[in-house]
A = this chain, B = another copy of it.
Amino acid sequence: MTNRAKPVIAVDVMGGDHGPEVVVPGALAALPADFPFDLHLYGAPDAVEAELAKHGSAGLPVAVIPCTQDIEMGESPASAIRSKKDSPIVRAMIDQKAGQVQAVVSAGSTGAMVAASLIILGRIPGVDRPAIGTVIPTVKGELLLLDAGANVQCTADHLVSFARMGNVFAREMMGLATPAIGQLNIGGEPKKGTELNVETFKLLEKSDLNFVGNIEGNQLMLGPCDVVVTDGYTGNNTLKLVEGFARFMGALSKRPDLTAEEQAAFGPILQFLGKNFSYEVKGGAMLLGVSGVSIIAHGRSSVGAISNAVKEAWNQVRKDLPAKLAAGSQ
């Protein structure tokens, strides 16, 4: 955390399926009563001002940063970053690079957030490939999965670097003294899986990390690991399958062939799952390994999810996570 008067969290209010209507109240709800940070809301000024008026922002440390452009979900990230310099994501990231804001939160295009973070913020020393980290619920608590989608192809050195970053994250943000680190694989033995898996196993076993071995998908949510590393393709597929279970349960509850007892039972279970295991609890993924804080909220984010994403950004700023990731990646 730089020694400015007060840190600033930048929020892209145009991102996500619902735009300012959800992002503005979500961001406001994240502001603690003692205002430890300022909120800068990047987006179309009329829309943002209208939302602020609706929710009452007088006296709050909130500023509107007008942007004339926006990046659509389907756009090519690299060309969007080049051609849309006045979009919230690009503007906010440039301001973070200049030290004017300390974190950027967006529920917009994941690809654009990754590209803007990489191109504008750059990588921290010792990290060749930043990774998307995402927190997945387990029976015991939660685990950090990375890479959840930034790098479709990875080397063993990348996965070891992800493990180092995950180790720092779990220590600093999850409060674990010695995080248990596993490699997602299709078998437990050291020689199982791809060449990448076999090589990564060897390197992690030799490292000073608390590597507990390979973990299979059927064990993941039982909670034996605090940090699980994998390539971005497998990680993204895994994340989507985990998200899909909640949708599956929701869809099941509407099946016409349920008995009255089953129907009645789905209510409390869906509530329990929603309360404890929804993506809203964490509010999003983050890009770890760039020189700054970059929080990627879910496109379908609700007010509560946006609020949690902004709180996560503030926690990472408060703990100076990028500097600690850099120190742990040497």
Contact flags A169-195 to B (C-beta < 8 A → 1, else 0): 000000000000000101001000110
A242's partner among B149, B219, B241, B272 (CB-CB below 8 A) is: B241
In the bound complex, residues from chain B placing their C-beta under 8 Å from that of A153 are: 194
A269's partner among B189, B217, B234, B265 (CB-CB below 8 A) is: B265
Q: Which residues between 75 and 97 of chain A lie within 8 Å of chain B, taking CB atoms?
A: none
Interface centre among A222, A237, A264 (most CB of B within 10 A): A237
One of A18-26, A45-53, A255-263, A283-291 at the interface: A255-263
In the bound complex, residues from chain B placing their C-beta under 8 Å from that of A37 are: none
CA distance A234 to B268 in the complex (A): 33
One of A200-208, A243-251, A301-309, A310-318 at the interface: A243-251
The interface on chain A, measured as residues whose beta carbon lies within 8 A of the other chain's beta carbons, has a size of: 46
CA distance A186 to B236 in the complex (A): 6
Which chain B residue has the least Cβ–Cβ distance from A240? B217
CA distance A259 to B220 in the complex (A): 25
Q: Are A248 and B265 in contact (CB under 8 A)?
A: no
Which chain B residue has the least Cβ–Cβ distance from A223? B251
Q: Judge if A98 is at the interface, Cβ distance under 8 Å.
A: no
In the bound complex, residues from chain B placing their C-beta under 8 Å from that of A267 are: 265
Which chain B residue has the least Cβ–Cβ distance from A238? B241
Q: Judge if A60 is at the interface, Cβ distance under 8 Å.
A: no
Q: Judge if A252 is at the interface, Cβ distance under 8 Å.
A: yes
A255's partner among B139, B217, B264, B266 (CB-CB below 8 A) is: B139
A186's partner among B216, B217, B218, B240 (CB-CB below 8 A) is: B240
In the bound complex, residues from chain B placing their C-beta under 8 Å from that of A139 are: 248, 251-252, 255
In whole Å, how far is A300's beta carbon from the nearest beta carbon of chain B?
A: 11
In whole Å, how far is A64's beta carbon from the nearest beta carbon of chain B?
A: 33
A218's partner among B189, B247, B269 (CB-CB below 8 A) is: B247
In whole Å, how far is A307's beta carbon from the nearest beta carbon of chain B?
A: 23
Can you give 29 A-B contacts (C-beta < 8 A)?
A: A139-B251, A139-B252, A139-B255, A149-B186, A152-B186, A152-B193, A186-B237, A193-B233, A194-B233, A217-B237, A217-B238, A217-B239, A217-B240, A218-B243, A218-B244, A220-B241, A221-B245, A234-B237, A237-B237, A241-B241, A241-B242, A245-B245, A245-B248, A258-B272, A259-B268, A261-B268, A264-B268, A265-B269, A269-B269
Name A residues whose Cβ lies closer than 8 Å to a Cβ of B: 74, 138-139, 149, 152-153, 184, 186, 189, 193-194, 216-222, 233-234, 236-245, 247-248, 251-252, 255, 258-259, 261-262, 264-269, 272
List of 8 A-B pairs having minimum Cβ-Cβ separation, nearest first: A217-B240, A218-B244, A217-B241, A265-B268, A265-B265, A221-B248, A186-B236, A139-B251
